Structure 1
């Protein structure tokens, strides 16, 4: 969509964003009230969750029902504009999350879907939705009935021109309202059906396996314009300045979509929620600033994880929980087993559609005929479960062999007993990679379109499969180190060397300097501070083993406190150590979600009531009962080392290449578990920063004993520095690794930004203490005098002793002092530009 007139100049990229999770209990007005605090914190932009009209009561906003309106429950467009004005007056811009892939499949709220269900394929809105009309005999399957339709007839009633079923409402096709109910149902453009039929009969694309979210065809230019018009108008009217794109892997052609969006926005700052596998690269051709930052999360967490200890925990886990290799004992086998389950059950309808498309291509090409549908389906299944990434992006520059390897093809062929039938693997692989070339005989109408459709749908299905098999299943089955079971994580290799981290940082600075970086999001399964409390176990696996023995003895003495299975016990105690207090329904709910997602003993669709009651009883008498005192005592003994991880990870995140996104509340100590726990409305205590500024004074972090206060002061110092001197962190900036020297060198991670800022953090502090401390380890600083912004009275020069650098804190944030200039009380040169300070920030 191109605006009728040129919009304002493209604003500069953010220096840092602050994510606010909007919902009816935290609308635009609440965000507006938080602006003074967030401006004083030092961010440049507020990052808002989706703002368009969503299902009433939605606490996340990803279930959009109307792209033309700003959500009324949040305050409508007037509320958004008021927030924008207030933010702009404080020097802040707005970045908004948009959802191009899907809408809520709730007809009574989704007018476009309502019209399609009423008028069928002839509706002008029919092109909006990814519906396979042929597969459903010309009708859309609506899997919302609680039982088989024959058993639910008594709950279906006609109300004028509407069919009602409990809270659901569906439009009636014109002229059918007076028909007897069975005939009326058969006369509609849709088929109300038992919800379980979605697995095999669904004929519309959805978000992952969620039938309540229907896929949108933004590849159609008219649909793109209709679904992006309001957001683009707000961009060109300068109400918002940048975009976060939710789930681009679900689109038919993400690259083409992003190019169209780039042209329509005039090049506004845009990041994509692309989950990159370990070692995978973002397609270089995409016209975006980068990812939303899960790749950064994996690298930051990795440098604060001990590889040897992670290996010891894996061995302990296998002995304690005794899971078979394919049920959590081995990562690769666990992922493969989970993928088989998802592809043959939850995604059966999607695989059937792919099979039909592949069969149509084969039927139209003489050289490919006589491939039986079952062989194509088998080949599809075997190749899909072997994809090591969320979605193959050959157009991004990767060679085909890196996304669908010859080894994967060889393994897929082994599923066939007759070699000739295994040839279906090559057909499917070539179709998926766009290698299949049609002969001149391929003249059947739509055959070439079918080839293009197959490639797109294969990629869409692979991303859904990977997300469900890895994020939503294997992460809950393979639990030796729960802090590594995070979106974008690599549980099979949780630790990252300092050299690997520096290589990653240099690559981001070179290729994607304005890419997003995160530590906690609305989708992380555990907040960064919870993960810190768990990853510290890699530094003391022996202590963890002793704690497990003590806890097992305590719970064994009380029958109701016994865990229903050892895998759950391991995960529950690890979660308890990381989560800390309070132990209440939040922990119980997270563990119930854990066992349902794992799907080993119970699940969302086939719940085992007896097992789930046993889980609740265990949580009540175990982690929430008397054993919590042993857990608390254990955690207290590790407090200083957890603090080192929390502060180190926060500082590295805020100063490394990229644009840091601070999730609501994480500037202070923030312990949250999987959603919905991590999506609770934000609360901002008034004047907290002013009080801390006054208390910390020249002493910095040393004046603050509380972790929340220390983390807040650290966050403000780093963010204010980024805002005050953006040239040190932007596209023209540099990233220089610094290496410590001496016996403790491996425990220091340090780097310089543009020769003017030095960042240093302690890593694996417990291992360091066990080894005898720093023992003369030094860090050569770039030339000049350096002031620590976290303890402004401290200066360093030349070859700094690391023990002195970290004498009062496990982290240091140094800024070069201009020659001959005295320092202000907060460590900045007295000549700093007063105009650069945000409202409420000392100058």
Structure 2
């Protein structure tokens, strides 16, 4: 890859900052000296382009041509870049190609489309089905059906207003009576509940406030990427993170065009790889943002046998007799059906219409006489059986839409002949590309719908329904796989070093449901499942409030165990989001106040009440083992193949729950705060210091020895020898650095400790990076290596 600044072409480590009005460019610039001293090479900024005023995240872009004024504008961004350069740091920026905010008064391009309709020069920007809804864009903004809201729809000159919404009026319609005026527009304001089934524009997942953008169109690409490319070419920005490429019609083509436009700058994509899935080799990117690494790292510190036992105990404690949530494959499949027929019903309808149009217009008689209901059923049955996010033009679609899935899908049809619709749909997806525009649209929409379905059904629904181990239900996670063996981890790292050596790696992000340190604590429960279940059996009756349901209770107790002592409202908000996402007894759109009130009462009286003190005491008993997982996770992440991305504040112990809990501004240098444990005890504060010291030492080593960790480096397992060998995970980087960590330390202690287990070091003397006065050589006793800390980072002596 090339860069105008060769020293910043590829990061050695990045540090993610969540920009928002309360943490603008100036605040980021003030943090630069500290972050440079920490040892990172680049700041990783959340989206910097103009967004909806007040946005706390920036993914709701309204203008691609301007840097966000609330953050300090382009002048502020350039000043931040100059400050960063002065301290040897570069900038990596998060960009959002898939969608924009559906807020016409701030989104000028959308405003023009709503005013001028399909004849607007901006109409090609947005993925709107003008053939549906009578040629009007459906705007689901009304609080009630339109007949009950007419009194709130007010004409103000050439603008139609509804509370804080504003829409342009089509020329010459301003003097019409209100009902006729509404009919005369290129859009139709409707009751928000119609979005589920009637929407005629592509959106981000099921979020109607974010409208899909057609960056597959070269003119749209140029218009929406011009400012970012200017900042790249002028040296203000050095690399890119691409948000949600799976939502695009043609990720392959988009990434090729972007690579050419950037001159090959370091770019990673937010691509969530399922277990066993590989990133398309043809993509001209450095790799992913790192959720595949997160899954493998977390798995290292999870005891497979204990996780299985915990799942059985969970089913007895929590899962209903109907098994809603007691079995992972069944839970995921059931959630997928629910999402397709509810949240994504409009998207499924549109895909069915395209399939029906394709069949009706085909010259092939075999495609004729296909009922839309049969096509829809075939599409639904295939979609719910995909094991990855979506097929790609550069990949083998048959490996995604498999014959096994087709065979299962056919069983949904009572009449076998009608089941032929499955083979017809699969044939359309797998056949030659050709030049048929409708076929191309069908394949693109199938892939886009599949992507939205996977995200909504697995990560946003099933992960909240299947909760035996909360740390396994993480973005990119695979709850059905219990743990990762050292052998599997080493094989994964070898592949990364060979195929994607400068890919991104993460353990905490702005999207993780729990920070790495919370998950590290939860993983310890797989080493003592019976003790945990026995504790819960005692505590739940003591809660003093009715248990809303067993699944919620199990998740709530795990939440406070992982988080540690915390403010009641903070936990209540996280669990309110949990039950709404699960959608079993309440949801975001069909809220059940009595149930939600019962959840809040239970959390206050139980997990955050007097019984919760016993959970805290149990956590304290296990503190040494939690510490081993926290430090082990951090060190493996910082020294394995790839470019580690640190989320803000995570250089110290950082305990956070799902957003918005994990998106609060942090102070620099970070101090204990509400986002990462203002209730830390004295022992915990010592552990936090351990993590800061370890993180800084590893980052500075990477910065000082980039050749040891980068694209030309090597990775090799370093097996321990002895009865406790499986509890030591060790590897070398380029024969110059050794990483060793303790895994499953509670099981280790119960088995009698390290004994005479030894780690054979490569030839030569090895200095402890954390304590340079300590040196080792030969076959070192693991008990001696891990005497001060449960982890060790060694560098060949004389080379530091």
1:226-237 → structure 2 map (5 Å cutoff): 226-237=223-234
1:420 and 2:417 are equivalent in the alignment: yes
Gaps of 5+ in 2: 673-682
Deviations along 1:75-113, whole A, 9 cap, x unmatched?
000000000000000000000000000000000110000
Which residue number corresponds to residue 723 of structure 1? 703
Deviations along 1:232-267, whole A, 9 cap, x unmatched?
000000000000000000000001000000000000
Question: What's the offset of the Cα at 1:59?
Answer: 0.3
Question: What's the offset of the Cα at 1:324?
Answer: 4.2
- Contact 2:9-2:238 within 8 A present in 1 as well: no
Question: What's the offset of the Cα at 1:565?
Answer: 0.8
Which residue number corresponds to residue 304 of structure 1? 301
SS in 1 for 2:762: strand
Deviations along 1:374-414, whole A, 9 cap, x unmatched?
11011001000000001123523xx4332111111011111
- Contact 2:649-2:670 within 8 A present in 1 as well: no
1:308-347 → structure 2 map (5 Å cutoff): 308-324=305-321, 326-347=323-344
Work out the CA distance in 1 between the residues paired with 2:21 and 2:167: 26
> CA separation of 1:437/1:659 partners in 2, compared to 1, >3 Å: closer, same or farther?
closer
Which residue number corresponds to residue 677 of structure 2? none
2:168 alignment partner, one of 161, 166, 171: 171
Which residue number corresponds to residue 636 of structure 2? 652
1:32 and 2:20 are equivalent in the alignment: no
Q: How many residues align?
A: 787
Deviations along 1:652-693, whole A, 9 cap, x unmatched?
0000000000000000010000000000012113899xxxxx
Work out the CA distance in 2 between the residues paired with 1:206 and 1:241: 30
SS in 1 for 2:436: helix
- Contact 2:98-2:214 within 8 A present in 1 as well: yes
1:46 and 2:43 are equivalent in the alignment: yes
1:736 and 2:716 are equivalent in the alignment: yes
Which residue number corresponds to residue 777 of structure 1? 757
1:80 alignment partner, one of 70, 77, 80: 77
Which residue number corresponds to residue 639 of structure 1? 623
- Contact 1:16-1:44 within 8 A present in 2 as well: yes
Question: What's the offset of the Cα at 1:584?
Answer: 2.5
Question: What's the offset of the Cα at 1:325?
Answer: 5.8
Which residue number corresponds to residue 566 of structure 1? 550
Work out the CA distance in 1 between the residues paired with 2:796 and 2:762: 9
Question: What's the offset of the Cα at 1:705?
Answer: 6.9
Gaps of 5+ in 1: 439-446, 689-702, 819-827, 830-843
My pick for the range that moved more, 414-423 or 42-51, is 414-423
- Contact 2:31-2:669 within 8 A present in 1 as well: no
Question: What's the offset of the Cα at 1:505?
Answer: 0.3
- Contact 1:562-1:622 within 8 A present in 2 as well: no
> CA separation of 1:779/1:686 partners in 2, compared to 1, >3 Å: closer, same or farther?
closer
Work out the CA distance in 2 between the residues paired with 1:617 and 1:8: 57
> TM-score w.r.t. structure 2 length?
0.97
Which residue number corresponds to residue 545 of structure 1? 533
- What is the RMSD of the two structures over their aligned residues, measured on CA atoms? 1.6
- Contact 1:704-1:710 within 8 A present in 2 as well: no
Question: What's the offset of the Cα at 1:801?
Answer: 0.7
Work out the CA distance in 1 between the residues paired with 2:30 and 2:418: 66
Which residue number corresponds to residue 630 of structure 1? 614
Work out the CA distance in 2 between the residues paired with 1:651 and 1:711: 9
Which residue number corresponds to residue 796 of structure 1? 776
Deviations along 1:14-33, whole A, 9 cap, x unmatched?
00000000000000000000
My pick for the range that moved more, 7-16 or 287-296, is 7-16
Work out the CA distance in 2 between the residues paired with 1:333 and 1:512: 34
1:383-398 → structure 2 map (5 Å cutoff): 383-393=382-392, 395-396=394-395
My pick for the range that moved more, 220-229 or 401-410, is 401-410
1:581 and 2:561 are equivalent in the alignment: no
1:524 alignment partner, one of 512, 521, 544: 512
1:57 and 2:54 are equivalent in the alignment: yes
Which residue number corresponds to residue 740 of structure 2? 760
> CA separation of 1:10/1:416 partners in 2, compared to 1, >3 Å: closer, same or farther?
farther
SS in 2 for 1:567: helix
My pick for the range that moved more, 293-302 or 487-496, is 487-496
Which residue number corresponds to residue 205 of structure 2? 208
- Contact 1:37-1:686 within 8 A present in 2 as well: no
SS in 1 for 2:555: helix
> CA separation of 1:285/1:81 partners in 2, compared to 1, >3 Å: closer, same or farther?
same
Which residue number corresponds to residue 242 of structure 1? 239
Question: What's the offset of the Cα at 1:345?
Answer: 1.1
SS in 2 for 1:662: strand
Which residue number corresponds to residue 487 of structure 1? 475
Work out the CA distance in 1 between the residues paired with 2:463 and 2:670: 38
Work out the CA distance in 1 between the residues paired with 2:78 and 2:797: 41
- Contact 1:737-1:752 within 8 A present in 2 as well: yes
Question: What's the offset of the Cα at 1:800?
Answer: 0.8
2:588 alignment partner, one of 604, 607, 611: 604
Question: What's the offset of the Cα at 1:707?
Answer: 1.1
Question: What's the offset of the Cα at 1:620?
Answer: 1.1
- Contact 1:326-1:337 within 8 A present in 2 as well: no
Work out the CA distance in 1 between the residues paired with 2:438 and 2:728: 55
Question: What's the offset of the Cα at 1:136?
Answer: 1.9
Question: What's the offset of the Cα at 1:323?
Answer: 2.7
Deviations along 1:211-250, whole A, 9 cap, x unmatched?
0000000000000000000000000000000000000000
Work out the CA distance in 2 between the residues paired with 1:776 and 1:353: 65
1:270 alignment partner, one of 243, 267, 270: 267
Question: What's the offset of the Cα at 1:816?
Answer: 0.2
1:669 and 2:666 are equivalent in the alignment: no
> TM-score w.r.t. structure 1 length?
0.92
Which residue number corresponds to residue 66 of structure 2? 69
- Contact 1:208-1:465 within 8 A present in 2 as well: yes
Deviations along 1:786-826, whole A, 9 cap, x unmatched?
011112211100111101000110000000012xxxxxxxx
1:533 and 2:517 are equivalent in the alignment: no
SS in 2 for 1:395: coil
Work out the CA distance in 2 between the residues paired with 1:704 and 1:197: 50
1:463 and 2:443 are equivalent in the alignment: no
1:137 and 2:134 are equivalent in the alignment: yes
- Contact 2:114-2:186 within 8 A present in 1 as well: yes
SS in 2 for 1:752: strand
Work out the CA distance in 2 between the residues paired with 1:801 and 1:620: 48
- Contact 2:433-2:440 within 8 A present in 1 as well: no
Question: What's the offset of the Cα at 1:494?
Answer: 3.1
Which residue number corresponds to residue 218 of structure 1? 215
